[in-house]
RNA sequence: GGGAGCGUAGCUCAGCUGGUAGAGCAAGUGACUCUUAAUCACUGGGUCCAGGGUUCGAAUCCCUGCGCUCCUACCA
């Protein structure tokens, strides 16, 4: 657990081996080495061809005059063979000084063993980097969660699965950009360092700007700046970047996380539904290789083939509680909910629940959303839950938004954005309460210049990656998750 | 925030009602020219997370601290 260099028998031995190599004329830390990726060597394997490869020694099977090593260069594993017959005497002798974890370059000829293992028979090898630290056990790899997160490089070098997951994350981000660029969206960058935090209800991280002697915050959402761009006539924009929220850490929350926000002028929430219905299948096709993804411990199959179900919040509630639900008296509703909860063995939290709205929402939370396994847009939510969004045209008590639910969890919301500056001010003032300083006057002022009707979308990229890689913890898809100082 | 659990060799883990610390892998030496979690023989390796307490005696029991994990609550 110590972060200081190990000072043990391994380190001593390796320092000695380093010295021995130097004395034999092998510089323990090499320079640029032109080579072919191991994955390509395997793919384009030609018996007898001479190639140069490089990588870390993962396993060494010493048999005296013929030795087998498993190398790993980050693209894949490959076997290298060190035979006395095939190597200059000095090279064969120096081979004995190699340890697990060392990085070497190998020049040799491609060869298939009797057991059919594609290999390279070494003719000449080069020391590229000596490892002074002993790598983790070859079979289990690094298993300790804490150590995996704190020393991700050790996790990456030993666990192929972990490394592949992060390459997959990189591809998801690349293909997300590509998809949006191809649809005519413009990628922008807005301030992360802001004088006031807006666009979400969350505690910001605070910092101090010395030159201006001014308190600053890290953004909690890019929303308000992106809408300014819509006002300015950048009609289709997106930003892919980090938000920071000064709140707790758990399996689905990291204080710094990656978000994608998309805004489309002259659109509405349905424009955003179309983007999700296009983007997610695109990611499935280009990155995952299937639209049917295994999810959770139960290995439940989630099918991302569009179109996705669209259903109004109230219709979902009626499906469960009966067509007449919203006409019933509150005490009747309460009894009915309790009875159903008992039947389904669900624990409803009813303390302080005094209205139809609150009760209905508790029912939705505990008994409806969890059962929406396949991709679903839940639309037409009560105004109270999303106070800043634009009301539905035909019913001012509802807002024209969706929550996109997959696997029983909300993945992302989409909005028909509020473009009436008077309504927006009212809503913001209501939210801010006493704290009127919290209102971003410049943002209101932007709206007063006239913002076209607009659809907006915000996706937690980490959670999207979790879904597509079948992980159930955010720390498994963030390279260096936030940890307490050890 | 509330609850439960964990921290032992480089790594993965055993260690019962308290009696001077164990295995596998890894390492060192030796044998072996088709191994692949190679095999075989011998050898070395520990601040039992840190600090305090109980005890003749603590990895083990108690307290405090640090870190992690799980459940639960909160979270546009």
For chain A residues 324-383, those near strand B by a CB cutoff of 7 A are: 349
SS3 A100: coil
CA–C1' distance A483–B59 (Å)? 27
Report the predicted TM-score, pTM, of the whole model to 2 decimal places. Answer: 0.93
Q: What is the CA radius of gyration of chain A?
A: 29
Task: Quote the pLDDT of residue A387.
Answer: 81
CA–C1' distance A143–B13 (Å)? 11
Taking only the tens of pLDDT, chain A with its 486 residues reads 334 555 688 999 999 999 999 999 999 999 999 999 999 999 999 999 999 999 999 999 999 999 999 999 999 999 999 999 999 999 999 999 999 999 999 999 999 999 999 999 999 999 999 999 999 998 888 999 999 999 999 999 999 999 999 999 999 999 999 999 999 999 999 999 999 998 888 889 999 999 999 999 999 999 999 999 999 999 999 999 999 999 889 899 999 999 999 999 999 999 999 999 999 999 999 999 999 998 877 788 999 999 999 999 999 999 999 999 999 999 999 999 988 988 887 888 887 788 899 899 989 988 899 889 999 999 999 998 888 889 999 999 999 999 999 988 899 999 999 999 999 999 888 888 777 777 899 999 999 999 999 999 999 999 999 999 988 899 999 999 999 887
CA–C1' distance A403–B76 (Å)? 11
Please tell me the distance from the alpha carbon of residue A402 to that of residue A296, in angstroms, as a whole number: 24
Q: Is the CB of A408 under 7 A from strand B?
A: no
Q: Is the CB of A70 under 7 A from strand B?
A: yes
The β-bridge partners of A422 are none
Task: Quote the pLDDT of residue A430.
Answer: 85
Number of Cβ within 10 Å of residue A455's Cβ equals 23
Task: Quote the pLDDT of residue A5.
Answer: 54
Chain center to CA of A67: 41
| Interface confidence (ipTM) of the complex | 0.91
Nucleotides on strand B lying under 7 Å from protein C-beta? 1, 8-13, 24-28, 31-39, 44-45, 49, 66-76
Work out the burial of residue A438: count CB atoms within 10 Å of its CB; fewer than 13 is exposed, 13-18 middle, 19 or more buried: middle
Please tell me the distance from the alpha carbon of residue A107 to that of residue A54, in angstroms, as a whole number: 9
């Amino acid at each position: 657990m110590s972060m200081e260099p190990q000072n043990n028998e391994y380190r001593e031995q390796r320092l000695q081996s380093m010295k021995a190599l130097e004395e034999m004329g092998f510089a323990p830390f090499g320079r640029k080495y032109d080579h072919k990726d191991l994955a390509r060597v395997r793919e384009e394997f030609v018996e007898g061809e001479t190639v140069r490869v490089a990588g870390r020694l993962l396993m060494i099977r010493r048999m005296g005059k013929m030795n087998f090593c498993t190398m790993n260069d980050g693209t894949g594993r490959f076997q290298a063979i060190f035979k006395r017959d095939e190597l200059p005497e000095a090279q064969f002798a120096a081979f004995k000084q190699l340890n697990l974890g060392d990085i070497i370059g190998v020049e040799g000829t491609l060869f298939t063993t009797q057991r059919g293992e594609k290999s390279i028979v070494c003719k000449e090898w080069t020391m590229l980097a000596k490892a002074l630290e002993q790598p983790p056990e070859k079979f289990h790899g690094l298993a300790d969660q804490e150590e995996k997160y704190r020393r991700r490089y050790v996790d990456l070098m030993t666990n192929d699965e972990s490394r592949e997951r992060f390459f997959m994350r990189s591809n998801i981000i690349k293909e997300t950009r590509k998809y949006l660029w191809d649809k005519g969206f413009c990628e922008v960058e807005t301030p992360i360092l802001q004088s006031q935090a807006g666009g979400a209800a969350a505690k910001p991280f605070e910092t101090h700007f010395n030159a201006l002697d001014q308190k600053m915050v890290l953004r909690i959402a890019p929303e308000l700046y992106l809408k300014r761009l819509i006002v300015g006539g950048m009609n289709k924009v997106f930003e892919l970047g980090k938000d920071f929220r000064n709140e707790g850490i758990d399996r689905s929350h990291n204080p710094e996380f990656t978000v994608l926000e998309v805004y489309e002028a002259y659109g509405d929430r349905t424009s955003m539904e179309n983007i999700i219905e296009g983007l997610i299948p695109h990611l499935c096709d280009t990155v995952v290789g299937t639209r049917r993804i295994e999810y959770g411990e139960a290995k439940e199959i989630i099918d991302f083939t569009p179109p996705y179900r669209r259903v109004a919040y109230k219709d979902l509630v009626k499906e469960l509680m009966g067509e007449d639900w919203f006409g019933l008296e509150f005490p009747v509703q309460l009894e009915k909910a309790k009875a159903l909860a008992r039947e389904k063995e669900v624990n409803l939290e009813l303390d302080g629940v005094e209205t139809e709205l609150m009760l209905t929402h508790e029912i939705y939370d505990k008994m409806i959303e969890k059962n929406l396994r396949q991709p679903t847009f839940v639309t037409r939510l009560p105004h109270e839950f999303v106070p800043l969004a634009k009301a539905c045209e035909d019913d001012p008590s509802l807002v024209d938004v969706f929550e996109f639910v997959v696997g029983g969890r909300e993945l992302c919301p989409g909005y028909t954005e509020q473009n009436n500056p008077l309504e927006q001010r009212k809503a913001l003032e209501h939210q801010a309460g006493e704290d009127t300083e919290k209102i971003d006057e410049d943002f209101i002022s932007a709206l007063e210049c006239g913002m076209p009707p607009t659809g907006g979308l915000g996706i937690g990229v980490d959670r999207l990656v979790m879904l597509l890689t079948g992980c159930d913890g955010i720390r498994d898809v963030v390279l260096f998750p936030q940890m307490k100082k050890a």
